[in-house]
């Protein structure tokens, strides 16, 4: 159970457009909704998607008076190691979870965050374009030939952490934007991910689907946790909430200190 030292959840992928920031926000809000003390650190000072998302959420609370779970959050804008360490320390203090979103590019602070993580989440879209980040396949058989540079990077990060303090980083590859219709390419990607997971040691879990609703919620800073803010819920909302429920369960995060009743529809 999280205590004085927060459980660090880092969302990292050097390729953009994988739903990384949207997933990070939903995980943070889902944890906060269960009574955990949550802080979010946005390391992407250019796009600042998580920071803007939570700023929009704070404005919605101010404008409407709605009672929404609200993590503390900050965006790292300094280029100095001291500035990074100071912000990391301030956000970590008194929290159960620190959720970190990283840029979709190689970044020195993203590498540091990955090294400090307890749970390292790499979202990918369900295609061989995204798969190429972590592994290479034979173009005819679609069998995995070798891990890619990023897999080797994470392998090294996990070894460094194990040597430093004996911690095992739980590396989770999260399949976002899964198609809802079974297709041959989907099966091939699934088979390749299964092969690679055995070679480099990540867990493979389902993420969030490709739904317009996720993009529509950004201006108000809402998530699928905030059912009361939607009024009536359509089938897309119900399906998306189920996706979130399944994803949170599959992440296997340590239980938060429950100070409030669990939000309906969110797995405890």
Tokens of 201: 């040691």
What is the C-alpha to C-alpha distance for residues 245 and 251, in angstroms, rounded to an integer? 10
DSSP 60-98: HHHHH-------EEEE----SHHHHHHHHHHHHTT-SEE
Rg (CA), the chain: 18
Q: Class of 7-251 per CATH?
A: alpha beta
Tokens 């890619």 correspond to 148
pTM of the model: 0.90
Name the strand (E) or helix (H) holding 222: none
Tens-level pLDDT at each residue, the chain (268 residues)? 344 689 999 999 988 888 899 999 999 999 999 999 999 999 999 999 999 999 999 999 999 998 999 999 999 998 899 999 999 999 999 999 999 999 999 899 999 999 999 999 999 988 899 999 999 999 999 999 999 999 999 999 999 999 999 999 999 999 987 665 557 788 899 999 999 999 999 999 999 887 788 888 999 999 988 876 666 667 777 888 889 999 999 999 998 654 333 444 444 3
Q: Where are the beta strands (DSSP E) in the chain?
A: 7-11, 38-42, 72-75, 97-101, 119-125, 135-137, 144-147, 170-176, 203-206
| Domains in the chain: boundaries | 7-251
């Amino acid at each position: 159970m999280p205590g004085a030292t927060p459980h660090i959840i880092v969302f990292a992928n050097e390729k953009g457009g994988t739903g990384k920031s949207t997933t990070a926000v939903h995980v943070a809000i889902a944890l906060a909704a269960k009574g955990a003390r949550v802080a979010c650190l946005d390391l992407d000072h250019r796009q600042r998607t998580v920071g803007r998302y939570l700023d929009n959420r704070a404005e919605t609370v101010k404008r409407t008076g709605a009672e929404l779970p609200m993590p503390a959050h900050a965006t790292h804008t300094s280029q100095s190691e001291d500035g990074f360490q100071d912000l990391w320390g301030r956000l970590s203090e008194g929290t159960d979870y620190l959720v970190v979103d990283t840029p979709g590019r190689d970044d020195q602070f993203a590498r540091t965050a990955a090294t400090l993580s307890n749970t390292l989440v790499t979202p990918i879209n369900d295609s061989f374009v995204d798969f190429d980040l972590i592994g290479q396949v034979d173009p005819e058989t679609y069998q995995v030939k070798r891990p890619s540079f990023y897999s080797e990077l994470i392998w090294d990060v996990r070894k460094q952490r194990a040597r430093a303090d004996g911690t095992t980083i739980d590396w989770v590859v999260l399949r976002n934007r899964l198609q809802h219709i079974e297709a041959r390419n989907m099966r091939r990607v699934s088979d390749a991910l299964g092969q690679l997971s055995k070679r480099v040691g990540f867990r493979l879990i389902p993420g969030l689907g490709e739904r317009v609703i996720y993009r529509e919620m950004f201006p108000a800073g809402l998530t699928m946790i905030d059912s009361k803010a939607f009024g009536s819920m359509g089938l897309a909302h119900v399906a998306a909430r189920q996706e979130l429920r399944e994803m949170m369960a599959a992440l296997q995060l340590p239980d938060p200190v429950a100070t409030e009743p669990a939000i309906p529809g969110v797995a405890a």
